[in-house]
Copies of this chain bind each other. A is one copy, B any other.
Amino acid sequence: MHKSIITIGREFGSGGRTVGRKVAEALHIDFYDEELVKQVALESGFNEKYIEQAGEDASSDNWFSYIFANRSGNGSSLSMDDYLWMVQCEVIRRISEKPCVIVGRCGDYVLRDREDVLHVFIYADMDKRAERIVRLYGESEKSPQKRLEEKDKKRKMYHKRFTDIEWGDYHNYHLMLDSGLVGIDECANIIVDLVQNKIK
């Protein structure tokens, strides 16, 4: 079946977002990364900065969720994270009514039963990713390795909390590419080529 939606899971610093943008440009379809964050912000009432992290990374600041849960005042145990998750799923389902590329945000899980979706995962080895995040985001107090490990762990935990699939487990993807070896442009080319010509 033709694949009109592409979800891209990715390790932090692997360039998965850039791969996604290039794929969207080549296929002339919408690209959801920041736009998805904006939409969730709009519909949930939270600010974008918060959603950018809380909509994908498990946080250790769970106290914040509990405050929100207690404030709901209707006996519901819905935490802020749960609420955000629901809004995010709803937005993903809605935007995927039209062809698009969706980066991260458990798009792989939310759209797992859709036959018209291609699920991709982009990764790279630690050295390549470390070099990339320093180049793009600058130095910080923590070493690049430490930043990468923490971010990977948070994404893994977020998946674990809200889904029954494991982040990075090949069973959940059609295609997994090491962008450090394959190259970002070529990762995009392989995906575009598959979507346009090669899927039976």
Partner of A198, one of B123, B174, B182: B182
- A194 contacts which chain B residues (CB < 8 A)? 182, 186
Residues of B within 8 A of A125 (CB): 171
**Quick check: B186 and A181 within 8 Å, CB to CB?**
no
> Considering only CB atoms, which chain B residue lies closest to A176 in the complex?
B176
Alpha-carbon distance A194/B181, docked complex (angstroms) = 10
Structural contact, B199 and A181, CB atoms closer than 8 A: yes
What per-residue 1/0 map shows which CB atoms of A157-200 lie under 8 Å from chain B? Answer: 00000000000101101111110011100100010001000111
A175 and B173 contacting across the interface, CB-CB below 8 Å: no
Secondary structure type dominating chain A contacts: mixed
| Cβ–Cβ < 8 Å partners of A186 in chain B | 194, 198
Q: What count of chain A residues pass the 8 Å CB interface test?
A: 22
Q: Is A121 an interface residue (CB 8 A)?
A: yes
Q: Please, which residues of chain B bring their CB within 8 A of the CB of A177?
A: 174-176
A175 to B179, CA, bound (A): 9
B-side contacts of A198, CB under 8 Å: 182-183, 186
Given contacts A176-B175, A194-B186, A170 and B121 within 8 Å (CB-CB): yes
Complex CA gap A77/B170 in Å reads 37
Q: Which of A168, A173, A181, A190 has the most CB of B within 10 A?
A: A181
A-B contact pairs, 26 of them (CB 8 A): A118-B181, A121-B170, A123-B170, A123-B171, A125-B171, A168-B170, A170-B170, A170-B176, A173-B176, A173-B178, A174-B177, A174-B178, A174-B181, A174-B182, A175-B177, A175-B178, A176-B176, A176-B177, A181-B199, A182-B198, A183-B198, A183-B199, A183-B200, A186-B194, A186-B198, A190-B190
